[in-house]
Structure 1
Amino acid sequence: MKVVAIIVTYNRKNLLLHCIDAIYAQCKKPDAIYIIDNNSTDGTYVLLHEKGIVNGNNEYNGISLIYVQLPINGGGSMGFHEGLKRVHNEGVYDYYWVMDDDGEPHPNCLKELLDHLTMGEYLSPLVVDIENKTSMAFGDGEPIETFVSKRSVDGEVIVGIANPFNGILYSKRFLEEVGYPERDMFIWGDEVNYDLRARQKGFAPTVICKAMHFHPKNRASHSKPFFFGMKKVIFVDNKWKMYCRCCNAIHNYKLAGNYIQIIKEFCLYNWLFLFTNFRLDWVVLYNKAFFNGMRSRFGGHKKYMR
């Protein structure tokens, strides 16, 4: 049985080093590591070369290590798509351990995941706040014990939830059935899309509670109250990010058959930008994102990145 670790990185060279160190610190090490660089401009390649991690031999400290620099920054979605596709097409590996560059797996993480392969082919660690290792990194930041006790029958596993691309272990059969992540969603919703497609193919995720993956806590608030505080929507005052969020969310709602949520979001966002806080440019942006999401047309965010 062979396992490959796949790290997707972009302009976070120092965090990437910590991630690589954490993989080498595993008590059960992967057979290979792939670093998929989304065309970083911060000197990532130079630093890896200076450290001897990328050295022309495709090997570092006894483990095969392949560095791939993509020709453009296609966001996390392209990074994970290309990484999984390239490695899967080699036909060598049985399991794919996938993560962003800002995560650090606990030394026992991979071992615990591999020890529970009988639980499924889509396994997730607990994703824990890297600064406060007693609480969760996402959601409300619940204490780990509270999070597990609410959702687990035996304290060992939690069925039905996952944090895709944060230390997730996918099997070869999973990839052959589900395919690769949607390439062109860029960010914000690509992980939801992949999880949704997996469930539709019959692959329910399982969290292995003894496996932990440390990740920065999401402390940003993206909630925008309006209509006298009675309604809230997700909003960031950044046009390309907001475009990605809205286009990808609508696409995912349609994929899930959730047309009630599609109608609800269409009404709420148009009300927000037309009546509560009139901004014609945001009305145009949202409706472009909405209708392109309905048509599964990605890439419109690029206009707002210029």
Structure 2
Amino acid sequence: MKRIAAVVVTFNRLNDLKICLASLHAQTRRADAIYVVNNGSTDGTDEWLKSQPELIVLTQANLGGAGGFATGIERTFQDGFDGIWCMDDDCIAAPDALENLLLSPNIGPAIKNCVSISVKDHEELAFYVDRPNQSYRKVTDMTQFDLVYGVASLFNGTLISAEVIRAIGIPDKKLFIWGDEVEYMTRAQKMGFPVVTVPTSVFYHPPSFDRNGIPWPGAWKQYYAVRNQRRIFQNMYGSKYGIVVFLQWSIRATLQQAKEKRQNRLYNFLLYGEAAFDSLLNNFRKRPETIFTVRLYRYMHK
């Protein structure tokens, strides 16, 4: 029988973490081990985790979702598990989520994802997916299929075969958040591994929001979505042409922010431009407190 490890990455959401872990303990096919990567939480998570002897706790500074899953995947892979089941701390697994992932059609080494359903509306997907010939917004858009190829909401109930990890490595810690999961998915696809959603395996997750419309000062997250997009395009189109695609995309996206009738469109414009420029310079060192546009906004809104 395959040995499966669950990896949960958490940062300052202790109540959500408790609910997530309770759903893992209630699985009809429980994971063989549960690893929790504590990304430097300051809300009492560290103290609570010390009282949970059944968990394997990995504590580190806040390295974002990318750094958290990189640590968790690397450790569980080294510990010899056959599959790594990854999730954020605000996920809730249906009782048969892992069992149905393992019972889904055998397609060899792959990335298999639970279907992410909105906790607010169980008829809607938590993450909308638009493809040239198909849009996935309602749960029924996916349940008509045994497997939905090329679609997965990493890292929300994502089961990764050890063979995939051996071939493509771990998530890139430098990406920090937003886009790191897509980069990892496209890296797997680039090397020929199937990436699928299993509609019979259900996860509940807060619905996503319009990234382009995040209110300031929380819009700093969009910096990473733009900056990391270059890596995604390079996985999809090759190293050299991917930069050309990114350059065209980032120029259009940045200019679009200047046209939008939003209260902080100037800051959005500057943020997009800064992120694109840093990406082209291969500057992946910035953290939220060192993003120039964010610092400017906070200075102007003291």
CA contact (8 A) 1:99 1:165 kept: yes
Question: What are the superposed Cα offsets for residues 218-242 of structure 1, whole Å, 9 maximum, x if unpaired?
Answer: 2x33346xxxxxxxxxx65345323
In structure 2, the CA distance between the partners of 1:267 and 1:146, relative to structure 1 (3 Å rule), is closer
Q: Which moved more, 1:293-302 or 1:121-130?
A: 293-302
In structure 2, the CA distance between the partners of 1:157 and 1:117, relative to structure 1 (3 Å rule), is closer
Residue 181 of structure 1 is aligned with which of 156, 168, 171?
171
- Aligned equivalent of 1:263: 248
Are residue 242 (structure 1) and residue 222 (structure 2) matched? yes
Question: What are the superposed Cα offsets for residues 95-116 of structure 1, whole Å, 9 maximum, x if unpaired?
Answer: 1000000001111011111112
CA contact (8 A) 1:254 1:262 kept: no
Q: TM-score, normalised by structure 1?
A: 0.81
In structure 2, the CA distance between the partners of 1:97 and 1:284, relative to structure 1 (3 Å rule), is same
Question: What are the superposed Cα offsets for residues 71-112 of structure 1, whole Å, 9 maximum, x if unpaired?
Answer: x2111000001111112122x211100000000111101111
- Determine helix, strand or coil for the equivalent of 1:123: strand
- Aligned equivalent of 2:43: 42
Tell me how far apart the structure 2 counterparts of residues 124 and 280 of structure 1 sit (CA, whole Å).
Answer: 38
- Determine helix, strand or coil for the equivalent of 1:254: helix
Tell me how far apart the structure 2 counterparts of residues 243 and 143 of structure 1 sit (CA, whole Å).
Answer: 29
- Aligned equivalent of 1:80: 69
Are residue 131 (structure 1) and residue 116 (structure 2) matched? no
Q: Which amino acid aligns with 1:32?
A: A
CA contact (8 A) 1:251 1:296 kept: no
Deviation at 1:193, TM superposition (A): 0.4
In structure 2, the CA distance between the partners of 1:263 and 1:170, relative to structure 1 (3 Å rule), is same
Q: Which moved more, 1:37-46 or 1:138-147?
A: 138-147
CA contact (8 A) 2:97 2:114 kept: yes
In structure 2, the CA distance between the partners of 1:298 and 1:196, relative to structure 1 (3 Å rule), is same
Are residue 207 (structure 1) and residue 207 (structure 2) matched? no
Tell me how far apart the structure 1 counterparts of residues 105 and 147 of structure 2 sit (CA, whole Å).
Answer: 12
- Aligned equivalent of 1:32: 33
Aligned residue pairs total 277
In structure 2, the CA distance between the partners of 1:86 and 1:221, relative to structure 1 (3 Å rule), is same
- Determine helix, strand or coil for the equivalent of 2:204: strand
CA contact (8 A) 1:174 1:203 kept: yes
- Aligned equivalent of 2:140: 145
Tell me how far apart the structure 2 counterparts of residues 117 and 67 of structure 1 sit (CA, whole Å).
Answer: 32
- Aligned equivalent of 1:231: none
- Determine helix, strand or coil for the equivalent of 2:125: coil
Tell me how far apart the structure 1 counterparts of residues 257 and 117 of structure 2 sit (CA, whole Å).
Answer: 35
- Aligned equivalent of 2:132: none
In structure 2, the CA distance between the partners of 1:145 and 1:253, relative to structure 1 (3 Å rule), is same
Matches for 1:1-306 after TM superposition, within 5 Å: 1-49=2-50, 52-53=51-52, 55=53, 60=54, 65-70=55-60, 72-90=61-79, 92-116=80-104, 118-120=106-108, 121-139=110-128, 142-149=137-144, 152=145, 156-218=146-208, 220-223=209-212, 237-238=216-217, 240-257=220-237, 258=242, 259-260=244-245, 262-270=247-255, 272-273=257-258, 285-302=271-288, 303-304=290-291
Tell me how far apart the structure 2 counterparts of residues 206 and 270 of structure 1 sit (CA, whole Å).
Answer: 34
Question: What are the superposed Cα offsets for residues 25-51 of structure 1, whole Å, 9 maximum, x if unpaired?
Answer: 0000111010001000111122334xx
Moved over 6 A (4+): 274-281
Question: What are the superposed Cα offsets for residues 270-293 of structure 1, whole Å, 9 maximum, x if unpaired?
Answer: 464499889776665433321321
In structure 2, the CA distance between the partners of 1:293 and 1:31, relative to structure 1 (3 Å rule), is same
Deviation at 1:125, TM superposition (A): 1.3
The Cα RMSD (Å) is 2.6
Q: Which amino acid aligns with 2:114?
A: P
In structure 2, the CA distance between the partners of 1:29 and 1:255, relative to structure 1 (3 Å rule), is same
CA contact (8 A) 1:289 1:300 kept: no
Tell me how far apart the structure 2 counterparts of residues 276 and 216 of structure 1 sit (CA, whole Å).
Answer: 27
Tell me how far apart the structure 2 counterparts of residues 200 and 130 of structure 1 sit (CA, whole Å).
Answer: 32
In structure 2, the CA distance between the partners of 1:137 and 1:283, relative to structure 1 (3 Å rule), is closer
**Any gaps of 5 or more consecutive residues in structure 1?**
225-234
CA contact (8 A) 2:117 2:204 kept: yes
